[in-house]
Homo-oligomer: A and B are copies of this chain.
Amino acid sequence: MNIFEVLGYLAAILTTISFLPQVFKIYKTKETKSISLSMYIVLTIGILLWLIYGIHLKSLPMILANSITLISLIYILLMKVKYK
């Protein structure tokens, strides 16, 4: 594995786990006022399409990363609607 492949995997890990702090913040504060609902609707649909594309490509990293991201996004989306 060369340095760029390492960077690629690191990129995938970071962008996947990045939404967890937002999940925990909402869980703790029950507050979503400054979060954009449109952003999370568009992003959730986009990640769902990445997941479908990953399943089509039989790419385990894409399936794993996008599944975890999707779960975080759906939680943030539901909480945004709940605490609107």
A residues touching B (Cβ–Cβ < 8 Å)? Answer: 4, 7-8, 10-15, 17-22, 24-26, 29, 31-40, 42-43, 45-47, 49-50, 52-53, 56-57
Contacts and interface: CB of A to CB of B under 8 A. Distances in A.
A53 B4 contact: yes
Per assembly, the copies of the chain total: 2
B18 A39 contact: yes
B34 A14 contact: no
A49 B7 contact: yes
B46 A21 contact: no
Q: Closest 4 interchain pairs by CB?
A: A14-B46, A11-B49, A21-B38, A15-B46
Contacts of A15: 43, 46-47, 50
